[in-house]
Amino acid sequence: MIQEKYRVLPGPEGFVPVTAALMGAVLPDAGGAFVEGGIVPETDALGLIAEKLANAKRPAICPGPLLMWQWNDAVAPKAAAVRELAGACGAKIYPMPDYRSKSPRINPEIEISVNHPNITILHNDIDVCLFAGVHSHYANFALRMIRGGTSCYTICLSDYAASDEAMISLRDIDAAKIAAITTKIKSSTGRS
Amino acid sequence: MSITHTNSNAAGTASCPKQKAVSPEELLLNATRSRAFMTGSEAVAEAVRRAGVDMAIAYPITPQSESMHLTGDLYAQGYIKDYYRAENEFAVMAAVHGASLGGGRVFTATSGPGTLRAMEMFPVWAGSRQPIVCAFMCRGVALPPSIQPENIEMAFLLDTGMIMLHAENAQDFFDFILAGYAIAEQPEVHIPVGVFADGFFVTHTREVIMLPPDDIKLDEYNPDIAPIPPFDTEHAPIRMVRDPLLNKCNFVSYAASASWHQEVLAAAERARKHINKYMGGLIEVENPDADIMIVASGTAVSQSREAIRTMAERDGIRIGLVKVKSVRPFPAAEIAQATAHASAIIIPEFNAGGWLARDIMGTIDNNSRVIAEPRVFGGMSMPEEIIIEVVKKAKGIK
């Protein structure tokens, strides 16, 4: 039986979205990035992320606990770089402060929940969302749900290994890589 | 973050022996090795000695007991920061889970009925994404009572979400435990690894194995690279489980739960490249062009090697061998490719259920080629003669 290579693309994929890793998606080693199910050089992916964010109608950035609460020297410049990125592409920030469930529901105007991310995506008509600082287990299971239930284009900036459930994902993210995306957006849009 | 607790054992004298922390590549692949002659149980202890384990918890059961006795000796010598005997196997598995949630590198082992008694915890380990390494010394599990070797307990663990590695001999047992930590602790994997060996045949038999020096050990585990947050288990109120999904009867909570399950399965898939790196592949193949291929795991591999050697020397018959090292993730594509040309695929097993044959029949083309025998259990051995008999039947030789 010949199977076409599975591509991680915007949904809605359906009732139970597939698991990219089980469909053969393999994560990149250092220097590589994950793009729609394949591996490309990281420098190419930086440009693709800039292009997606710059051309989005309603881009969103979802910072997670590793960006909001982490306690190490690297996190402050990384958080500042994400904030500058949001400004460059006009993205609204929807924090994912932790992974607890909220009852009766979250407020989709101001936040995103890992357990039902589609409420925020659909309520705000977000067409491109970027996760940063979300632990990869939670990032992956939320990104899979977004792919299952929405047409949002997903991007994930990962601290260690990349995310195979996002359409584009970088690994070993640091402030310099985030700043490189911002620079590309600014140069393509003419904003300073 | 790590466990900084110092060993304050009963003697109160143990200080951690000087060991240089090295990368898994150095310990497993590059370090010069020297010969040793020991049982599989002793090989387990030698692996733990070099694994930089923070905490080990034991409950005795044959044929596992010796390995955890020896692990206790390692605690007395200062190689392990904490060690105790729990109330039973369920308590053991729950306690190592807690220690792992708190950011420690943990080890335990069990066998047969102990595995079944602790069963609830194995999917919990996987579901909470903890890189626990557990050795299983497989034996009979139920009435009629048997402490003797067979590996039916592996059948019950196939879908718990853990990685399952099946050792052929003491060398594999040593290597797979250390590789288990290297694989389990990858950020994108981070699920438990079960290292299985057929009890007595491996645990109680002395053989030559090659060991790296004992003055090196694995680098410290860093729980901050985990795909989930480590827990603070030292300051009240202590949290014991991951945040549950919203337990409401609605589609969203079911969908989140399903996606979480999928993520555990994905984690095992992501282990493949690390198994290739640290263990030289999910399978090994000998005589790859032979018309008849034997596919086996554990000590059934050793018995098959004997049968293959005898048939080559005595009868001039060339038979191939596929050794399955990783049972989960299952090497479906690798086995299909290695057996694509074969007219018959013989699968000898040490259990009554035939779990390996079932997996292979479900993943290869033209599975009528599979001959799911010989199969022994209840403590029976598998003499080479009964494998040869099946091969000759497949070739139409009387």
A157, pLDDT greater than 80: yes
Cα A25 off chain centre by: 17
A3 lies in some domain:
no
pLDDT value at residue B219: 97
Q: Which residue of B has its CA nearest to A14?
A: B255
Looking at CA atoms only, how far is residue B248 from chain A in angstroms? Answer: 10
Q: Do B269 and A21 touch (CB under 8 A)?
A: yes
Q: Which residue of B has its CA nearest to A100?
A: B243
Contact criterion met (CB below 8 Å) for B375 and B152: no
A98: confidence class by pLDDT, cuts 50, 70, 90: confident
Measure CB to CB from residue B229 to each of A65, A159, A164 and give the nearest one.
A65
A93 lies in some domain:
yes
B225 contact A CB<8A: yes
Listed by number, the residues of chain B in 121-160 with a beta carbon closer than 8 Å to a beta carbon of chain A are: 129
Listed by number, the residues of chain B in 165-194 with a beta carbon closer than 8 Å to a beta carbon of chain A are: 186-188, 190
Mean pLDDT of A110-135: 96
Looking at CA atoms only, how far is residue B327 from chain A in angstroms? Answer: 16
Looking at CA atoms only, how far is residue A133 from chain B in angstroms? Answer: 11
Phi, psi of B110 (to 5 degrees): -155, -175
- Which residues on A lie below 8 Å from B244 (Cβ)? 101
Joined together, the tokens standing for residue A58 give 């309603």
Cα separations (Å) of B248 from A103, A123, B254?
10, 21, 8
A141, pLDDT greater than 70: yes
pLDDT value at residue B3: 45
B257 contact A CB<8A: no
User: Mean pLDDT, chain A, as a whole number?
Assistant: 94
Looking at CA atoms only, how far is residue A191 from chain B in angstroms? Answer: 36
A4 lies in some domain:
no
- Is B283-394 in the same CATH topology as B14-224? yes
Joined together, the tokens standing for residue A57 give 């109608």
Question: Which amino acid is present at B392?
Answer: K
Measure CB to CB from residue B259 to each of A26, A145, A161 and give the nearest one.
A145
A24 lies in some domain:
no
B238 contact A CB<8A: no
Contact criterion met (CB below 8 Å) for B175 and B28: yes
Q: Which residue of B has its CA nearest to A16?
A: B255
pLDDT digits (tens, 9 = 90+) for B296-324: 999 999 999 999 999 999 999 999 999 99
Measure CB to CB from residue A144 to each of B225, B243, B259 and give the nearest one.
B259
B328 contact A CB<8A: no
Q: Do A164 and B266 touch (CB under 8 A)?
A: yes
pLDDT digits (tens, 9 = 90+) for A8-32: 999 999 999 999 999 999 999 999 9
CATH of domain B14-224: 3.40.50.970
Helix (H, G, I), strand (E, B) or coil at B143: coil
Q: Do A19 and B265 touch (CB under 8 A)?
A: yes
DSSP A137-163: HHHHHHHHHHHHH---EEEEE-SSS--
A7 lies in some domain:
no
Q: Do B190 and A140 touch (CB under 8 A)?
A: no
A3: confidence class by pLDDT, cuts 50, 70, 90: low
Number of domains in chain A: 1
Q: Provide the domain limits for residue A48.
A: 32-189
pLDDT digits (tens, 9 = 90+) for A35-76: 999 999 999 999 999 999 999 999 999 999 999 988 889 899
A102, pLDDT greater than 80: no
Looking at CA atoms only, how far is residue A10 from chain B in angstroms? Answer: 17
CATH 3.40.50.920 fits B283-394, yes or no: yes
Q: How do the domains of chain B map onto residue ranges? A: 14-224, 283-394
ipTM: 0.95
pLDDT value at residue A80: 97
Measure CB to CB from residue A136 to each of B187, B259, B269 and give the nearest one.
B187
pTM assigned to the model: 0.95
Contact criterion met (CB below 8 Å) for A184 and A50: yes
A68 lies in some domain:
yes
Alpha carbons B45 and B339: distance in angstroms, whole number: 36
Cα separations (Å) of A32 from B28, B313, B316?
26, 50, 50
Low-confidence ranges of chain B (pLDDT < 50): 1-5, 10-12
CATH code for the domain of A42: 3.40.50.1220
- Which residues on B lie below 8 Å from A156 (Cβ)? none
A54 lies in some domain:
yes
pLDDT value at residue A148: 96
- Which residues on B lie below 8 Å from A64 (Cβ)? none
A27 lies in some domain:
no
DSSP A39-93: EEEHHHHHHHHHHHHHH-SSEEEEE-HHHHT--STTHHHHHHHHHHHHHHHTPEE
- Which residues on B lie below 8 Å from A3 (Cβ)? none
Percent of chain A at pLDDT exceeding 90: 85
Measure CB to CB from residue B227 to each of A65, A135, A149 and give the nearest one.
A135
Q: Do B256 and A115 touch (CB under 8 A)?
A: yes
Measure CB to CB from residue B243 to each of A16, A19, A100 and give the nearest one.
A100
